[in-house]
Amino acid sequence: MSNENIQAGLDKYNATVEKATAKFPARPHIPEQGLYTPLDIKETDYAEDIGFPGVYPYTRGVQPTMYRGRFWTMRMYAGFSTAEESNKRYRYLIESGATGLSCAFDLPTQIGYDSTDTIAEGEVGKVGVAIDSLADMEILFDQIDLGKVSTSMTINAPASVLLAMYIAVAEKQGVSADKLKGTIQNDILKEYAARGTYIFPPRPSMRLITNIFEYCSKNVPNWNTISISGYHIREAGSTASQEIAFTIADGIAYVEAAIKAGLSVDDFAGRLSFFWNAHNNVLEEVAKFRASRRIWAKVMKERFKAEKPKSMMLRVHTQTAGSMLTAQQPNNNIVRVALQTAAAVMGGTQSLHTNSRDEALALPTEDSVMVALRTQQIVAYESGLADVIDPLAGSYYVEAMTNRIEAEAWEYIKKIDDLGGAVAAIEKGYIQKEIQDSAYKWQMDVESGARVIVGVNKFQVEEEAPKNLLRVDASVGEKQKAKVEAMKAKRDNAAVQAALADLKAACGDENENLMPHILAAVKTYATLGEICGVMREVFGEYEAHVNL
């Protein structure tokens, strides 16, 4: 059928629909256009814009076989209380079929303080596991073979220290650094823009990141040195287009910093990875995944002149949307997570964490975690969604949505370029304000009822107070303090002070890679707080501001 015939048929259809829908109330959050046809993708070139899986521009996926070869890594995010308790949960997950670990750290660890610091009072072990030194990391991975498991660590400002601890534990297990597989988040720019667990100002933070790139390219070649994170940008309230635009802009800044530090793009770009949110709008999320791969491939090929195919591949870990979990009617969250899982799988993720139904109320129980893991396994083995590569390709709506999200993201990237790049845009408050504006609009729509959240602003029921929630006992903080003090009493404190003095001197030399010095300090059982404290002395601390 010719485009002219399609247009004539569409005009007739629209006239009919206009009359039929006039009597129905408006639904402001559905697409203005209700039907998509070949006219909506007539400018799309299959070879240039869609292509084949494993081939530039990777719209359809980064691997030729995708899940027909093997499933995504089922990487369950966990960590709470002490290293001993988290170790038990990790071993339970592995025994239950998880194929990768993802470590959650408590707030003091995330911002580089020891459990003994007064600022850590009341927060030890609450939102993740407390890791104060190599001694805790040894316990955390006790009886877990680091030569076989792939580990992701959600850690940013002190990522270099936690990575050094992981390398040191592996050495003690007899596993060399070149055998290690995993990821550190290590994405400080999104902390300034959306999340807040930063320590140092942007410039020294970028130095630490490029030091990790360089060190791992030579010593830990199978490690993903950064997970450039849109997840927290979306959790803070961004749109799908903003999520990938701001995240890819951060990625551009990291690549530029690494090249400026003397690294060749093809030596490190293949170990960059991304972290997306899987939100509720299934088809929009699938389009977002597809658009993000296409944008990154073009950025790496055209802007940075990358030559290796792996340098152009946007590999992504995904987590279902924590911000979409509701405390009301928490069993509804099982359905939400199932839909988000389907979106991530049809979108072509490389690994996935599924949230648990009770996480809007507390840390997840073992029963809830099992349901979340089983959700992935049912999608993998029973749904058929993993049987075919990029199953929604060719859908008029999905292809048009992919094009729209890509176009919107490019507009944001251009704006950020005009402001001087992601670091400058963050320093000027631009990215923060865009996210805040989107979050405000979403919340106003929920409060007005224009956007329906089932069980929250519609279809409410009377509910009993939740029972059997997992709580971290307040005594955890005191126990952890005692462990730290006992460890300090046994270690060689002269060796610790010498290593810290060496690190401080290295911090003052901008040409020095800090990773070997941090690793040396870690091996003396210098604490996280001591190591970060030395860097605070030299680099200072970041103070947030937003220009409105």
Give residues with Cβ within 8 angstroms of 511, minimum separation 6.
Answer: none
pLDDT in tens, 342-355: 999 999 999 999 99
Q: Kindly state the helix (H) or strand (E) to which residue 260 belongs, with its residue range.
A: helix 240-260
Q: Of 337, 230, 226, which Cα lies nearest the Cα of 291?
A: 230
CATH fold, domain 57-448, is: TIM Barrel (3.20.20)
| Residue 399 Cα distances to 73, 240, 278, 410, 511, angstroms | 27, 15, 18, 17, 47
Q: Measured in whole angstroms, how far is the alpha carbon of residue 158 from the centre of its chain?
A: 16
- pLDDT at position 80 is 84
- pLDDT at position 547 is 52
The DSSP output letter for 81 is B
Whether residue 467 has pLDDT greater than 90: no
DSSP per-residue letters across 91-149: HHHHHTT--EEEE-B-HHHHTT--TTSGGGTTTTTSSSB---SHHHHHHHTTT--TTT-
**What is the C-alpha to C-alpha distance for residues 291 and 242, in angstroms, rounded to an integer?**
12
Report whether 189 contacts 423 (CB < 8 A): yes
**What is the C-alpha to C-alpha distance for residues 430 and 420, in angstroms, rounded to an integer?**
11
**What is the C-alpha to C-alpha distance for residues 140 and 153, in angstroms, rounded to an integer?**
12
Domain boundaries, the chain: 57-448
The DSSP output letter for 301 is I
Q: Quick check: helix, strand or coil at residue 76? A: strand
What is the total residue count of the chain? 548
- Mean pLDDT, residues 131-138: 98
Question: What value, to the nearest 5°, has the Cα angle with vertex 228 and ends 191 and 417?
Answer: 80
- pLDDT at position 262 is 93
Q: What are the φ/ψ torsions at residue 103 (nearest 5 degrees)? A: -95, 130
**What is the C-alpha to C-alpha distance for residues 328 and 455, in angstroms, rounded to an integer?**
6
Of the ranges 7-11, 63-67, 350-354, 452-456, which one carries the lowest mean pLDDT score?
7-11
3-state DSSP of 348-415? CCCEEECCCCCCCCCECCHHHHHHHHHHHHHHHHCCCCCCCCCCCCCCHHHHHHHHHHHHHHHHHHHH
Whether residue 545 has pLDDT greater than 70: no
- pLDDT at position 355 is 96
3-state DSSP of 476-532? HHHHHHHHHHHHHHHCCHHHHHHHHHHHHHHHCCCCCCCHHHHHHHHHCCCCHHHHH
**What is the C-alpha to C-alpha distance for residues 243 and 249, in angstroms, rounded to an integer?**
10
Whether residue 546 has pLDDT greater than 70: no
User: pLDDT exceeding 70 applies to what percent of the chain?
Assistant: 99
**What is the C-alpha to C-alpha distance for residues 254 and 263, in angstroms, rounded to an integer?**
11
**What is the C-alpha to C-alpha distance for residues 427 and 100, in angstroms, rounded to an integer?**
36
Whether residue 485 has pLDDT greater than 70: yes
User: pLDDT exceeding 90 applies to what percent of the chain?
Assistant: 87
Edge to edge, the sheet with strand 223-224 lists 223-224, 181-184, 150-153, 100-103, 73-78, 351-353, 316-320, 272-278, 226-229
- Mean pLDDT, residues 407-429: 96
- pLDDT at position 141 is 97
- Rounded to a whole number of angstroms, the distance between the first and last alpha carbons of the chain is 52
Mean pLDDT, the chain, as a whole number? 94
Report whether 220 contacts 271 (CB < 8 A): no
Of the ranges 21-35, 288-302, 502-516, which one carries the lowest mean pLDDT score?
21-35
- Pairing label, strands 272-278, 226-229: parallel
Give residues with Cβ within 8 angstroms of 22, minimum separation 6.
Answer: none
Q: What are the counts of helices (DSSP H) followed by strands (DSSP E) for the chain? A: 20, 9
- pLDDT at position 78 is 81
**Which pairs from 455-464 meet CB under 8 Å and 24+ separation?**
455/326, 455/328, 455/329, 455/332, 456/326, 456/328, 460/328, 461/329, 463/328, 463/329
pLDDT in tens, 81-96: 899 999 999 999 999 9
Whether residue 131 has pLDDT greater than 90: yes
- pLDDT at position 548 is 47
Angle between helices 240-260 and 202-219 in degrees, nearest 10: 70
Q: Quick check: helix, strand or coil at residue 77? A: strand
Our CA dihedral for 333, 191, 100, 272, rounded to 10 degrees, sits at: 130
